[in-house]
Amino acid sequence: MRTQNGYGANTNKKQHHQTNHQETTKRKPIINYGRGNSFLSLGESVRGPRFRNPERILSLGSPYKSLHEKLINPNPHEIFAGIDWSACKGFVCKSFSEDDIHKSIKYGKWSSTPRGNTKLSEAFQQQQQIHLSRNGGTFSHARRARGGGLSSINSCSKGSDDVNDALNENRSIAINDKNETVLSPTLKTAAKSEKKIPQRIFLLFSVNASGYFSGVAEMTSDVDFNKNETFWQREGKFNGSFDVEWLVAKDVPFHVFGRHLRIVDDRKIDKGETKRVTHSRDAQYVTPTVLRQCIELMLAYPSDNSLVKDFEFYDERERTRCESRERNSARASTSDCREQQHHRTPVPVSLPKPQNVSIKTPANKTQPQRSSSESTKTKTKTTTTTTIVS
């Protein structure tokens, strides 16, 4: 039945669609704790508990308070000092769960698929070659360690004698109270003042089906294909790892980046098809212009929500997962021992050889054999009877 305005039932459908859209937008974000993967000890978490209470603030006594403040509001002048945006490279790194993002921030490591690791390794080597060609064969790259405070200078343009003298003057190696070798304060300041190479590689991290970018990290080492980390959520799936340094950790929704930030699809380069940067796959290359705009949007987005808020939650998940792994390994070892005791190797037994013994059968089962003379007599009798009848 149509109304007076001429739209009829279409208006009812439109109003119904609008009301449903408003109801869905008011719903709280869903936390996915599991996807039915039987090979995982714990389910994959796409969104942490912070999405249920975005206004939650870390307490002053939290050990991750300083880390949260450092990654949520970084100093862009300190991070991007001396950078050459035209020579930088960017890639999108996708993760199956936030557990792996948590471990990447915690341990300063990352691992992609075999295709992604090969792609990132080639990009890192190309950046090194570009820097060497521009600086006349010298390469100086200060890389922060996983703890974030120490740095290491890979090489210097001076000779070996001058380098050794400089290191001796700076007292580069010192021994603390625990008999551990550490860097002296003079070398720490020198390492911090050392500028990074202008041609850098930035990684934009996102969790599948989350609708957010989790932050930005920098690739600081080449891929070691022989080193496999055991703390990933999907154990044994990712081979090889490399060092990363997290610069920004902030939850930025995809709608902030708009539709104008588009990149060429790596798998459809021949066709020249483009797509939004928010619809990228793992190890998708990002052009320097789009990379810079994405990082600037992340830094300018007013949000106090980051994965660091849920570090205690993911630490507990990691602890529980490690304990379940240990229990499963202990059970497997005990079951193997029991199987070895139950299924013992049989001892070879030598059977006796058969002897030539004549076995007599009873008369009621088999008839005795006839002699040859008796058989010939019966044959002749049968032949004579046949002739008489004829």
Q: Each residue of 256-271: pLDDT tens digit?
A: 999 889 998 877 777 7
Give residue 356's pLDDT.
Answer: 55
Q: Does residue 19 or residue 293 have the better pLDDT?
A: 293
Give residue 325's pLDDT.
Answer: 83
DSSP state of 27: S
- pLDDT over 50 at 378, yes or no: no
Helix (H, G, I), strand (E, B) or coil at 140: coil
Residue 17 region by backbone torsions, left for phi larger than 0, else alpha for psi between -120 and 50, else beta: alpha
- Helices (H) and strands (E) counted in the chain, each on its own, are 10, 12
Give residue 134's pLDDT.
Answer: 85
Give residue 271's pLDDT.
Answer: 76
Query: Which among 5-19, 175-189, 200-214, 329-343 has the top mean pLDDT?
Result: 200-214
Residue 236's pLDDT band, with cuts at 50, 70 and 90, is confident
Residue 273's pLDDT band, with cuts at 50, 70 and 90, is confident
Over range 189-218, report the average pLDDT.
83
Give residue 210's pLDDT.
Answer: 94
Q: Does residue 195 or residue 245 have the better pLDDT?
A: 245
Long-range contacts of 54-57 (CB under 8 A, 24+ apart): 54/305, 56/309, 57/304
Q: Does residue 155 or residue 67 have the better pLDDT?
A: 67
For the ranges 38-47, 170-179, 332-341, which has the lowest average pLDDT?
170-179
Please tell me the pTM assigned to this model: 0.65
Give residue 174's pLDDT.
Answer: 39
- pLDDT over 90 at 125, yes or no: yes
Distance CA 169, CA 163 (A): 10
The count of C-alpha atoms lying within 13 angstroms of the C-alpha of 174, restricted to the half-sphere facing its C-beta, is 13
Can you give the C-alpha Rg of the chain in angstroms? 38
Among candidate residues 78, 89, 91, 20, the one with its CA nearest the CA of residue 284: 91
DSSP states along 62-94: -TTHHHHHHHHS--HHHHTTT--GGG-EEEEEE
Residue 23's pLDDT band, with cuts at 50, 70 and 90, is very low
Give residue 388's pLDDT.
Answer: 39
Mean of the per-residue pLDDT values for the chain? 73
Distance of CA 348 to the CA centre of its chain: 50
- pLDDT over 90 at 306, yes or no: yes
Distance CA 116, CA 312 (A): 30
Helix (H, G, I), strand (E, B) or coil at 107: helix
Q: Each residue of 310-364: pLDDT tens digit?
A: 999 999 999 998 898 888 888 887 777 666 665 555 545 454 555 554 545 455 5
Give residue 342's pLDDT.
Answer: 59
Kind of pairing between the strands at 151-153 and 173-175: unpaired
**Rounded to 5 degrees, what angle do the CA atoms 143, 146, 148 make?**
75
Specify the residue for token string 């109003």.
15
The count of C-alpha atoms lying within 13 angstroms of the C-alpha of 387, restricted to the half-sphere facing its C-beta, is 5
Extract the tokens encoding 152. 């290491």
DSSP H stretches of helix in 230-310: 288-300
- Report all structural domains of the chain as residue ranges with CATH numbers, in order of start: 75-138+198-329 (3.10.590.10), 142-195 (no CATH)
Distance CA 88, CA 295 (A): 13
Helix (H, G, I), strand (E, B) or coil at 130: helix
